[in-house]
Amino acid sequence: MTAEFQLDEEQQALVEAVREFTREVVAPVSAQHDHEHSFPYEVISQMGEMGLFGLPFPEEYGGQGGDYFHLCLALEELAKVDQSVAITLEAGVSLGAMPIYRYGTEEQKQAWLPKLTSAEQLAGFGLTEAEAGSDAGGTRTKAVLEDGQWVINGTKEFITNSGTDISTLVTVTAVTGEQTREDGSVKKEISTLLVPTDTEGFTAEPAYDKVGWNASDTHPLTLKDVRVPEENLLGERGRGYANFLGILDEGRIAIAALATGAAQGCVDESVRYAKERETFGAPIAKNQAISFKIARMQARAHSARLAYYDAAAKMNAGLPFKTEAAIAKLIAGEAAMDNARDATQVFGGYGFINEFVVSRHYRDSKILEVGEGTTEVQLMLIARSLGLL
């Protein structure tokens, strides 16, 4: 990507390949999977064969040797048509495989990454609990080291990719002790542990009945006397939550790309429909109220794209990007929700029918203002960067 945010030939080729795949493979089955709340195994398998799950990883781990921006480009294209498929990729990479790549030992990387980067397997990240998410201090899941094994007890909420037939691993945050601050106060020591899903005592409870993202896999988890080897500690003991904050910063760029795709998908569908739908003898696109609404939608999508391009460029350059990632997540999430509302209005009654893409975007997009850091969290991060909090 150049300074002017123009894609190079390789990046453009990736966009075109994913766009064609989305049109020919994803789109024809999206409504069915959404209606049935079924996981699109056949789609995910083909995405694995295309190398999409390995885009930002080195070839030595089965990856494509690209970077995070390549992943973002793929996510934007997928999300134009199917947010459930896009979030399966986003979570599988940024929450499932990326923590192992960033913080794992060489043995852990070799053991897990090749099958995760090929989508033969999926992994999730078990952070959120009923009283803990943005507030790590609320973490109640505990892990005690006994005879060379971590014994884990607790529950997790809203864990993506945790209960499919190919889900094989969840990285779990747990309280492993206490740490004393410089001022003498005590805080929880939070670490991350690799927990294979077939471990005795690990249970993926029945899937949630969600408002949207119906073809995405999301479960609450129960861990009862789950035992994993001591070497399943991921990263340094006591650095689990701190490390995950870094993962979230990266993930916000990816979610912003996904949200941008949703926003652009609403534009594309609205343009097509406005040119085809006629009232009073003319296409509704000739109605200034309609055309101006779609023009504003395009402005939102364009702004969101520039925001995540900028954050990704800074990340790839090794520059600080936390604030830019928060800005991108904020702008893109709101653009997706606003565009979904407006697109539904453009479609009129058809916008209320689930077989239409815009109706699914209307249900799906709300979570983009909540998941992986709420709008309020992004505002807090931006305000802190300005020295206001």
- Say whether both 210 and 260 belong to one domain: no
- Say whether both 225 and 292 belong to one domain: no
Q: How many CB atoms lie within 10 A of CB 205?
A: 15
- Say whether both 287 and 156 belong to one domain: no
Give me the CATH number covering residue 299: 1.20.140.10
pLDDT of residue 372: 86
- Say whether both 15 and 115 belong to one domain: yes
SS3 category, 245: helix
- Say whether both 256 and 196 belong to one domain: no
Q: Which of 49, 205, 372, 376 is catalytic?
A: 372
- Say whether both 248 and 341 belong to one domain: yes
C-alpha–C-alpha distance, residues 237 and 242, integer Å = 11
* Domain with 363 in it: 242-385
Q: Against a cut of 0.85, is the pTM above it?
A: yes
C-alpha–C-alpha distance, residues 285 and 269, integer Å = 12
- Pairing outcome for strands 122-126 and 167-180: parallel
E-strand stretches of 257-315: 278-279, 282-283
Give me the CATH number covering residue 179: 2.40.110.10
Q: How many CB atoms lie within 10 A of CB 16?
A: 11
The reply to whether 289 falls in a domain is yes
Q: Which amino acid is at 267?
A: V
Do residues 330 and 375 touch, judged by C-beta distance below 8 A? Answer: yes
- Say whether both 131 and 202 belong to one domain: yes
Do residues 169 and 121 touch, judged by C-beta distance below 8 A? Answer: yes
Q: Can 369 be counted among the known catalytic residues?
A: no
pLDDT of residue 4: 59
Compute mean pLDDT per 10 residues along the chain, 389 residues long, and list them.
74 97 98 97 98 98 96 98 98 97 97 98 95 81 96 97 98 92 84 98 97 98 98 95 89 97 98 96 96 98 98 96 97 98 97 95 97 93 96
Among residues 121, 140, 169, the one where a domain terminates is 121
- Say whether both 141 and 204 belong to one domain: yes
The reply to whether 285 falls in a domain is yes
- Say whether both 195 and 270 belong to one domain: no
The reply to whether 299 falls in a domain is yes
The reply to whether 369 falls in a domain is yes
The reply to whether 2 falls in a domain is no
Domains contained in the chain, number: 3
C-alpha–C-alpha distance, residues 299 and 140, integer Å = 44
Among residues 96, 121, 146, the one where a domain terminates is 121
- Say whether both 53 and 67 belong to one domain: yes
The radius of gyration of the chain from alpha carbons, rounded to an integer in Å, stands at 21
Among residues 121, 141, 171, the one where a domain terminates is 121
Count Cα atoms within 13 angstroms, Cβ side, for 150.
28
The reply to whether 4 falls in a domain is no
The reply to whether 215 falls in a domain is yes
- Say whether both 221 and 258 belong to one domain: no
The reply to whether 68 falls in a domain is yes
- Say whether both 279 and 376 belong to one domain: yes
C-alpha–C-alpha distance, residues 89 and 40, integer Å = 12
